[in-house]
């Protein structure tokens, strides 16, 4: 008989204790728009098997879903796993249970942001939008290229209205939570 596969300990494998489990967490997520499919997950691994991110680094969509279903709220929302999804939708195409992993992970990111766990890159990008009205700064090079291509010059964004909209959407709270979290760690 051939040797069976040795199981290796992977990052993210840890003992699950009662005090870490929040039984209502999966329902919290499932009740959000986009999170409906979560409870249908069979953990068959079709998402991980086709994941282009997972093929190069230690990232398994199945594990994210599994941890949410287990109720490991703190672990899921504070980990960087939910920020690794490239939103290529391959898993959604593969999924046999119509779980819509990309939507679930968006809900999880929103939850994590509210608690000050947003990935620094995303926060920096949001700040850039608040400041410039764009995800990248307007440079002279861009203006010049537009001129050469015969495109109309860029309009100045209505920063005030934009800030108003983004704060109404709760972005202010995300920044505050982020700041609180940073202060705590210092």
Partner 1 sequence: MTVSGEKTSLQSMNPLETALVIGGGVAGMQAALDIADQGYKVVLVEKTPSIGGVMAMLDKTFPTLDCSACILTPRLSEVSRHPNIELLTYSEVTGITGKAGDFRVKVLKKARGVLIDKCSGCGECVPHCPIQVRNEFDQNLGYRKAIYIGFPQSTPLVYTIDKENCIKCELCVKSCDREAIDLTMEDEMIEIPVGSIVIATGYELFDVSVYHRLGYGRFKNVINALEYERLINASGPTGGKLMRLSDGKIPRSIGFVQCVGARDVQKGVPYCSRVCCMYGIKNAVMAKELHHDIVKNVTIYYADIRAYGKGFEEFFNMSKERFGIKFIRGRVGELEEDNATKNIVIWAENTETGEFLKQEHELLVLCPGILPPKGLKDLAENLGLEVSIDGFIPISYPASNPVDTDVPGVYVAGCAESAKDIPDSVAAGSAAAMRASITLARGGDI
Q: What is the DSSP string of 28-46?
A: HHHTSTT-GGGGG----SH
Using rule CB under 8 A, residue 49 touches partner 1? yes
Nearer to partner 1, 1 or 135 (CB): 1
Please tell me the distance from the alpha carbon of residue 64 to that of residue 171, in angstroms, as a whole number.
25
Tokens 């010049």 correspond to 144
Q: What 3-state class would DSSP assign to 99? A: coil
Contacts of 61 (CB under 8 A, 6+ apart): 47, 48, 51, 54, 85, 91, 101, 105
Q: Residue 95 or 174: which CB sits closer to partner 1?
A: 95
Of the listed pieces 2-10, 68-76, 110-118, 172-180, which binds partner 1 according to CB under 8 A?
A: 2-10
75 binds partner 1 (CB under 8 A): no
Size of the site for partner 1 (CB under 8 A): 32
Burial of residue 113 (CB within 10 Å: 0-12, 13-18, 19+) is buried
> Smallest distance, Å, CB 8 to partner 1?
6
Q: Is 13 in the site for partner 1 (CB under 8 A)?
A: yes
* Binding status of residue 15 toward partner 1 by CB under 8 A: no
Stretch that binds partner 1, among 36-44, 77-85, 121-129, 131-139 (CB under 8 A): 36-44
Q: Which positions from 100 through 159 interact with partner 1, judged by CB under 8 A?
A: none
Among 26, 35, 41, 54, binds partner 1 (CB under 8 A): 54
Angle of helix 120-132 versus helix 171-185 axis, rounded to 10: 130
Among 34, 50, 133, 157, binds partner 1 (CB under 8 A): 50
CB atoms inside a 10 Å sphere around CB 21: 14
Residues that bind partner 1 (CB under 8 A): 1-2, 4-5, 7-8, 10, 12-13, 40, 42-51, 54-55, 58, 60, 62-63, 90, 94-98
């Amino acid at each position: 008989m051939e040797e069976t596969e040795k199981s290796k300990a992977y990052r993210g494998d840890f003992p699950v204790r009662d005090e870490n489990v929040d039984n209502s967490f999966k329902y919290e997520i499932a009740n959000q728009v986009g999170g409906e499919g979560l409870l249908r997950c069979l953990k068959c691994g079709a998402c991980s098997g086709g994941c282009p991110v997972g093929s190069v680094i230690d990232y398994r969509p199945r594990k994210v879903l599994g941890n949410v279903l287990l109720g490991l709220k703190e672990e899921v929302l504070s980990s960087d796993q939910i920020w690794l999804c490239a939103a290529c939708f391959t898993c959604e195409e593969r999924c046999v249970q119509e779980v819509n992993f990309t939507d679930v992970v968006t809900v999880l990111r929103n939850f994590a942001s509210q608690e000050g766990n947003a990935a620094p890159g995303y926060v920096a990008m949001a700040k850039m939008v608040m400041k410039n009205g764009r995800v990248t700064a307007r440079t002279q090079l861009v203006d010049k290229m537009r001129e050469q291509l015969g495109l109309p010059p860029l309009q100045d964004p209505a920063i005030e209205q934009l800030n108003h909209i983004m704060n109404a959407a709760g972005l202010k709270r995300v920044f505050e939570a982020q700041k609180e979290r940073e202060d705590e760690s210092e």
